[in-house]
Chains A and B, each alone.
Chain A
Amino acid sequence: MTTIYIIAAIVLIVAILVVIFRLQVLSAVLKGRYEKRVGIGNDINGLLFVIVFVVGVGAFWYSYQQASAFFLPAASSEHGVRTDQLFWVTMAILVAAFLVTNALLYVFPYFYKYKEDRKAYFYPDNHRLEMIWTIIPAVVMAGLVVFGYKEWTAITSPAPKGAEVIEIMGKQFAWQVRYPGKDGVLGNYNYRNIDAVNEFGIDMNDSASYDDFIPRELHLPKGKPVLLNIRARDVIHSVFLPHFRVKMDAVPGMPTHFWFVPTKSTADMRDETGNAKFNYELACTEVCGRGHYAMRFVVVVDEPADYEKWKASQETFASLNRDYAAEKAPKLVGLLPAKVAAPEAPADSTAAPADTTAVAAH
């Protein structure tokens, strides 16, 4: 019943609008508004451009002030500081170009709006002017390319020797990380080894696998280069560490890499932001399915000494899954620790990490 009322009301409103509109047009025709080449509307539109520009620039300024309070804090990585700088320098150039060109674009309509007694200036071209405004952008672009190129090659250069190697794997819908353990070498993997226990597909026949561990947070050492070995096991995901200005796709069948140097520990950031609960986060930025928005993983940057302590406290995958390892690689049982070492109190600085899978499946 309500539906019928609503439909009737809409029909009525539309009908009334049509009638008003029709009357308005008829009266305009009677008054001869359509005879003249331009009406008062022309002046109003010309003026509106100037008003919109002035108000618009004001709104731009104001909104920027408001919004910039919520931008990410200063970058927590070495390269991030430099790319941020590149961003803001480029942005400053662009804002200047934006203001100048838009000012002209909005002011000309006002100054050159139609006047009966004036004729437009027949001005089909001017080669010198055109040269100038081809060359200036070309030079500016060349400058930006040079700086961008320098930064890009530095960021994508091979990781320094001795970088901390950590593996990140994306799956629907969670991240998992694996550390190489004492030997500094990640054990081999094969996607065919993946099962409910062995999410990474770690090859238990590779002796380098036996000290690998799989923690529930990503810990990074402050001030040391970190090399992320990135992969995915089902669809494409993308590793995004917003505070570190790090992003790299995780592609099934094609391992990727990104290395960087974290410069501020989680504790530093807590001081800096005044937020005692601050945590670095890892997000996914390549659409990967229903839980794409929920692939959160906590990242902790420790002082180097704490980092080593934390690493030492982690129990290896093999010792947590002794039976599994023994079954898969009976020849290598000797590599398993004799007895489960009493796990030290976890040095995790946060409460239980979010179980993102649960959110995703909601």
Chain B
Amino acid sequence: MSSSDIHIHDHHAHSHDHDHDHEHHELPWIRQYIFSEDHKIIAKQYLISGILWAILGGLFSLIFRIQLGFPNADLSWMKPVLGEWIQNGKLDPEFYLAMVTMHGTIMVFFVLTAGLSGTFSNFLIPLQIGARDMASGFLNMLSFWFFFLSSVVMFASIFISTGPASGGWVIYPPLSALPQAMSGSGLGMTLWLSSMAIFIVSSLLGSLNYITTIINLRTKGMTFDRLPLTIWAFFITAIIGVLSFPVLFSAALLLVFDRSFGTSFFLSEIYIGGEALSNQGGSAILFQHLFWFLGHPEVYIVLLPALGITSEIVATNSRKPIFGYKAMIGSILAIAFLSFIVWAHHMFITGMNPFLGSIFMFLTLIIAVPSAVKAFNYIATLWKGNIIFTPAMLFSIGLVSFFISGGLTGIILGNSAIDIQLHDTYFVVAHFHIVMGSASFFGMLAGVYHWFPKMFGRMMDERLGYIHFWLTFIGVYVVFFPMHYIGIAGFPRRYYSWTGFDAFNSFADLNQLISIAAILVFIAQFIFIFNFFYSIFKGRISSLNPWRSNTLEWTTPLNPEHGNWPGDIPHVYRWPYDYSKPGHNEDFIPQNVPFSQTPHSNFPHEKDSNE
């Protein structure tokens, strides 16, 4: 059933397939590379867009890090680029907030949601479950182009004279609802909302496709308990996305109504710009509930794919089965479920009923348990392994380190009594940059290094990969670890400058150090970018299965065409983690090897079911 609507290269299916074969080869260039329905091309489109967005998002963070690290510096040299946003050699405070907002939006949605999940869900789902393409190639293409459109709108908003949205990536009204409150809440916010609405459409199309494909198009023998953990992660991520993004959509829609059509969903009793507004009875807190109902699941939408990728890479390169496969699936499910009922831990001090605070503290701390299980399982997988440090493996280990360090501080923030002091300080910034930002980012890099040979048929240079890893890994800790200290000292986030306060007048040196480290980490990423683009064209030709991995994507030709396998789709006989199985002469047994071919390594219960 899996290939009935794809027709390509499936010589064993109906006889008229041959005609389609010809049609396919005659596809115009633009249908092959631009408006392509091939999941592999779409994945690369997401990846390249993600990389471009990451550069921009990173650059924005440097602008405001320069402001924080060197508050007295003369920034006139930025004037040729930033124009009116530099006045008398100083960054405009509203532009500072605009940069913070755009940085957050870009990183969370455009890089780590689209760039990470879009790339690897698209690339790996059909290849690893043994399908010729997504359930609907057309919707998949549409999903990318909606994302592209939303990118264009967001990008355009950066250049308008009133500036892009500036109220933080959480866009709390009334600040985001009232153009009188700040200039970014005018046209910039309209564009932000439009862009995000389109983004949500893209995300839903993508997620529905992932879910359908995984449920319906698995090859023979690929039961759910033989799915690689990558696929489990993408599957659950897509479900979380489908359930939570619509809520953000409705919040955005209500905000549009408040902004443009005079409704009062979020507005009440406001006096601004010398006049009392007529809005009454709305609730600003309602928006926060709606936002975080997406917002917290969103952090797992970003993180779970990275964890899935890591599971695969750690097992492959430890030459060991992932420890506790079932527990890994169980904890993904538990995290996914709990992620829907912890959102209000972002709202302990909004004035919501303190009893709710108690409930959410309790639920939030529960979610630490499945997270801890995952961390322990990674470590147990390394134990007594035979570890090969590919760059992908290094980045995966780095991810586990960040996941632990950042997850632990979550336990502090999840405690409402302690969060009173730490909320909206740099402690929170340190926490989520390590656990969400850096961990997911490392997952993305690990994925690129690992599947590059499958994407482009060539290898990336591993020594550049090593240098890239060590600089980035150490750099990330140097940048984000000290932010805990700054947060403990009470420094609020989203501050243009702290020098106006006696209490926040210290740490000038530390902030300078962070800024310098941030600049260096940013520059170090160009090692990767060089390696990436250079290797696409000039890298060494890869072997078919360079990492001696078990999963199905490595059974395809070096540069698989649309349809992935030239002949039949391989069948699957075993789980994906038969690494270093006792009794077998090699240290891996791919999923498509029947038990009948490995008589010496089979456990008693392992027999091929009747074909």
Residues of A within 8 A of B (CB): 17-18, 21-22, 25, 29, 34, 37-38, 41-42, 44-46, 48-49, 52, 56, 60, 63-64, 67-68, 70-72, 80, 83-84, 86-87, 90-91, 94, 97-98, 101-102, 104-106, 108-109, 112-115, 118-126, 129-130, 133-134, 137-138, 141, 144-145, 148-149, 151-153, 155-156, 172, 191-192, 194, 201, 230, 233-236, 238, 240, 242-243, 245-249, 251-254, 256-257, 277-279, 281, 283-294, 296, 354, 356, 359
CB distance from A78 to the nearest CB of B (A): 13
Given contact pairs A234-B270, A288-B175, A293 touches B93 in the complex (Cβ within 8 A)? yes
CA A70 to CA B423, docked complex, whole Å? 19
CB distance from A122 to the nearest CB of B (A): 5
Are B492 and A108 within 8 A (Cβ)? no
For A121, A138, A278, the residue with the greatest tally of chain B CB atoms inside 10 Å of its CB is A121
Are B540 and A29 within 8 A (Cβ)? yes
B35 in the interface (beta carbon within 8 A)? no
Are B379 and A104 within 8 A (Cβ)? yes
Sampled A-B contacts (11; CB under 8 Å): A108-B379, A120-B320, A120-B587, A125-B324, A133-B376, A144-B411, A148-B418, A192-B276, A240-B492, A253-B282, A283-B504
Are A144 and B477 within 8 A (Cβ)? no
Contacting A at CB under 8 A, from B445-493, are 461-464, 466, 470, 473-474, 477, 481-482, 485, 488-490, 492-493
B595 in the interface (beta carbon within 8 A)? no
Are B97 and A122 within 8 A (Cβ)? no
Q: 6 tightest A-B contacts by CB?
A: A253-B268, A256-B351, A156-B354, A67-B485, A151-B417, A121-B384
B611 in the interface (beta carbon within 8 A)? no
Are B358 and A153 within 8 A (Cβ)? yes
Are A105 and B404 within 8 A (Cβ)? yes
Count CB-based A-B contacts (< 8 Å).
356
Chain B residues whose C-beta falls within 8 Å of the C-beta of A102 in the assembled complex: 401, 404-405
Size of interface on B: residues with Cβ below 8 Å to A: 123
Contacting A at CB under 8 A, from B236-274, are 267-272
Interface residue from B269, B372, B385, B477 paired with A137 (Cβ < 8 Å): B372
Chain A residues whose C-beta falls within 8 Å of the C-beta of B361 in the assembled complex: 145, 148-149, 152
Are B384 and A101 within 8 A (Cβ)? no
For A108, A153, A356, the residue with the greatest tally of chain B CB atoms inside 10 Å of its CB is A108
CA A248 to CA B420, docked complex, whole Å? 8
Are A285 and B492 within 8 A (Cβ)? yes
CA A160 to CA B132, docked complex, whole Å? 69
B168 in the interface (beta carbon within 8 A)? yes
Are A41 and B97 within 8 A (Cβ)? no
Are A235 and B500 within 8 A (Cβ)? no
| Interface mask (B202-232 → A, CB under 8 Å = 1, otherwise 0) | 0000000000000000000000000000000
CA A45 to CA B421, docked complex, whole Å? 40
Chain A residues whose C-beta falls within 8 Å of the C-beta of B326 in the assembled complex: 125
Given contact pairs A119-B386, A123-B320, A245-B420, A48 touches B470 in the complex (Cβ within 8 A)? yes
Are B502 and A105 within 8 A (Cβ)? no
CA A248 to CA B174, docked complex, whole Å? 17
Interface residue from A21, A45, A120 paired with B385 (Cβ < 8 Å): A120
Chain A residues whose C-beta falls within 8 Å of the C-beta of B538 in the assembled complex: 22
Interface residue from B182, B350, B482 paired with A290 (Cβ < 8 Å): B182
Residues of B within 8 A of A (CB): 92-94, 97, 167-168, 172, 174-175, 178, 181-182, 267-272, 276, 280-285, 318-327, 349-351, 354, 357-358, 361-362, 365-366, 368-369, 372-373, 375-380, 382-389, 394, 397, 400-401, 404-405, 408-409, 411-412, 415-418, 420-425, 461-464, 466, 470, 473-474, 477, 481-482, 485, 488-490, 492-498, 500-504, 506-507, 510, 530, 534, 538, 540, 577, 579-582, 587
Chain A residues whose C-beta falls within 8 Å of the C-beta of B463 in the assembled complex: 41
CB distance from A116 to the nearest CB of B (A): 9
Chain A residues whose C-beta falls within 8 Å of the C-beta of B178 in the assembled complex: 234-235
Chain A residues whose C-beta falls within 8 Å of the C-beta of B424 in the assembled complex: 238, 240, 247, 285-286
CA A115 to CA B372, docked complex, whole Å? 30
Are A21 and B461 within 8 A (Cβ)? yes
Chain B residues whose C-beta falls within 8 Å of the C-beta of A235 in the assembled complex: 174-175, 178, 181, 270, 272
Interface residue from B174, B354, B373, B376 paired with A252 (Cβ < 8 Å): B174
CA A201 to CA B175, docked complex, whole Å? 21
Are A108 and B385 within 8 A (Cβ)? yes
Chain A residues whose C-beta falls within 8 Å of the C-beta of B422 in the assembled complex: 87
A275: nearest residue on chain B (CB-CB)? B502
CA A136 to CA B268, docked complex, whole Å? 47
CA A349 to CA B380, docked complex, whole Å? 61
B95: nearest residue on chain A (CB-CB)? A290
Chain A residues whose C-beta falls within 8 Å of the C-beta of B423 in the assembled complex: 247, 285
For A67, A124, A155, A283, the residue with the greatest tally of chain B CB atoms inside 10 Å of its CB is A124
Chain B residues whose C-beta falls within 8 Å of the C-beta of A296 in the assembled complex: 500-501
Are A149 and B358 within 8 A (Cβ)? yes
CB distance from A61 to the nearest CB of B (A): 12
CB distance from A233 to the nearest CB of B (A): 5
Are B418 and A90 within 8 A (Cβ)? yes
